[in-house]
Copies of this chain bind each other. A is one copy, B any other.
Amino acid sequence: MQTCIDMYRTRTCGELNIANVGETVTLAGWVQKARKMGGMTFVDIRDRYGITQIVFNEDINTELCGQANKLGREWVIQVTGKVAERSSKNKNIPTGEIEIIADKLEILNVAEVPPFTIEDNTDGGDDLRMQYRYLDLRRNCVRSNLELRHKIAFEIRRFLDEQHFLEVETPVLIKSTPEGARDFVVPSRMNPGQFYALPQSPQQFKQLLMVAGFDRYFQIVKCFRDEDLRADRQPEFTQIDCEMSFVEQEDVLNIFEAMIKHIFKYVKGIDFKDPFPRMTWHECMRLYGSDKPDMRFGMTFVELKDLTEGHGFSVFDNAKIVVGICAEGCAEYTRKQLDQLTDFVKKPQVGAKGLVYVKYEKDGSFKSSVDKFYAQEDLKKWADRFNAKPGDLMLILCGDDVNKTRKQMNELRLEMGERLGLRDKNKFAPLWVIDFPLFEWSEEDSRFYAMHHPFTSPKTEDIQYLDSDPGRVRANAYDLAMNGVELGGGSIRIHDSKLQNKMFQLLGFTPEKAMDQFGCLINAFKYGAPPHGGLAFGLDRVVSMLAGLDSIRDCIAFPKNNAGRDVMIDSPSAIDEAQLKELCLKINL
């Protein structure tokens, strides 16, 4: 690949090979390393495309070699010379068979010694690398994540353009809505005392575009949420935001399944041949205790309540649910290993009271922490339900709160998957989670909230339960999970004003409050809203997934830390008194 011919170079540092031997070339880049060996000086020059070895020979050009000996790490140089075959070849890099015999060396810029090494295995810690992010980005492993991000965004656009989607930019300075997560706000100088808000998502605008007849909309767009940050959250993040008209859930799922397959194919060379599996939310909770199950491995939940009852083990007898997983081939786990698992489930983040294990020994016998209460033949019945074989280990939790216990079991399942090496980063297991409940009960506020948002449509066949049993109503809402991560989700929206008013009422909005918050959309719906629906993917999460990263931070060029600070540019920061005055604001600490 001949890449960039610019004034300062005829070739890049990643493209020369044995076929170029004899050519005179000019390269420009950074000094990766320089070493003197006898009368020869070898300099590795690096750019975005690769590394090429330059040779200076003291006998042939003493002055030039003298210059080369002065070069420091990360100096910016320009070298002209002839491509030659190397005597000792490096098969690990594409340019490893050649070197450049230097004729000319120009120092374009000097550099101080960087605070950490510019290598995949750097000696720099997290904080230092964030402070000098511009140096961190020189590292191959960091830059390649951003190259991948570029490629993914490009392929998404190519796919959606072919499907007649229009990318429409919606405004960044919008209106604050008090419900939901906290908005970032922007004081308006021209409208004193008033504020814009930064969008948490372009939800209302994309629905307005459907009312406007735009039919198929998408946008790769920055969104903002003023939340206390966790490891996998950033105050600004990027969404692949999509909406379609005249569609049902099936249309949306099909198009975006095809989009995800397109990305994997064109970016990773991975072909998903089969349709993505689908599972209802209730089934997900029952089998995995999670609405984003990691489908790379089995270990689905098995419920045992009926088999455990009436044996005098009050812990199980008093529980609402007894649920377990079967860890294949783990019967040989030591006391210590089992204790570790018990400690794991008892961590406050998991919150179980204890763990029951049953070892299905190789000889067919059972050994368990509840041997006192259950005979061998009882445990055999459990094992049969688990489909366990001799050599397997059954891990069992119980509790009063069915959902809570399942979530604890989910944590244990993921931990076991980790321990057993079943969470391979090169394996990708997608799952459409469908039929989400429409409402979520809040114990704290003793009321229902919309699980997705107030515009999500209930399933037609469940509308009958809206009044009598709201908790039973399923929504036309769906998520795409992959490897235990929610990549995106969406819903078919309500397009009928009467049903929308009913929803507002059920969610405790007075008509005035609904108008105040969603007035624009409610009005727009009076003028002919088509049936529509859509979804949004987290681009940061999609990139992290394909890059095999643990944190979205690693695929963001200039991320913020957990205090929402950019330590590199030192932001946020104080502003001038004069500017505050112009904005009619006072700080009140």
A interface SS class: loop
Interface segment, A322-330, A333-341, A427-435, A523-531? A523-531
The one of B6, B212, B235 in contact with A251, judged by C-beta atoms closer than 8 angstroms, is: B6
Complex alpha-carbon distance, A172 and B198, angstroms: 10
CB pair B188 A564 closer than 8 Å: yes
Interface segment, A179-187, A290-298, A312-320? A179-187
CB pair B527 A112 closer than 8 Å: yes
Complex alpha-carbon distance, A563 and B191, angstroms: 8
The one of B29, B147, B189, B212 in contact with A138, judged by C-beta atoms closer than 8 angstroms, is: B212
CB pair A576 B216 closer than 8 Å: no
A420 within 8 A of B: no
Residues of B within 8 A of A196 (CB): 184, 571-572
Complex alpha-carbon distance, A524 and B135, angstroms: 8
Interface segment, A95-103, A159-167, A280-288, A342-350? A159-167
Known contacts A166-B150, A185-B186, A558-B170; A531 and B8 CB within 8 A of each other = yes
Residues of B within 8 A of A163 (CB): 4
Cβ distance A537 to chain B, nearest Cβ, rounded Å: 15
Residues of B within 8 A of A208 (CB): 133-134, 558
CB pair B182 A184 closer than 8 Å: no
Known contacts A146-B166, A198-B186; A191 and B134 CB within 8 A of each other = no
Known contacts A9-B246, A246-B28, A569-B520; A170 and B557 CB within 8 A of each other = yes
CB pair A528 B213 closer than 8 Å: no
CB pair B235 A173 closer than 8 Å: yes
A361 within 8 A of B: no
Which residues from 114 to 172 on chain A have a C-beta closer than 8 Å to any C-beta of chain B?
A: 114, 132-135, 137-138, 143, 146-147, 149-150, 153-154, 157, 161, 163-164, 166-172
- Closest B residue to A165 by beta carbon equals B150
CB pair B173 A560 closer than 8 Å: yes
A195 within 8 A of B: yes
Residues of B within 8 A of A111 (CB): 526-528
CB pair B587 A584 closer than 8 Å: yes
A519 within 8 A of B: yes
The one of B7, B190, B244, B531 in contact with A228, judged by C-beta atoms closer than 8 angstroms, is: B190
The one of B157, B175, B576 in contact with A571, judged by C-beta atoms closer than 8 angstroms, is: B175
A75 within 8 A of B: yes
CB pair A246 B186 closer than 8 Å: no
- Closest B residue to A238 by beta carbon equals B169
A411 within 8 A of B: no
Cβ distance A170 to chain B, nearest Cβ, rounded Å: 6
Residues of B within 8 A of A209 (CB): 134, 137, 557
Cβ distance A114 to chain B, nearest Cβ, rounded Å: 6
Q: Which 5 A-B pairs have the closest CB atoms?
A: A111-B528, A137-B212, A8-B246, A175-B571, A194-B572
Known: A143-B212, A175-B566, A183-B579. 10 other contacts (CB 8 A): A4-B163, A8-B246, A30-B213, A109-B531, A110-B528, A146-B214, A150-B161, A174-B571, A175-B573, A519-B570
Q: 14 A–B contact pairs at CB < 8 A?
A: A6-B245, A7-B247, A48-B213, A108-B530, A109-B495, A111-B526, A134-B208, A134-B527, A137-B214, A154-B157, A173-B184, A178-B576, A186-B572, A205-B557
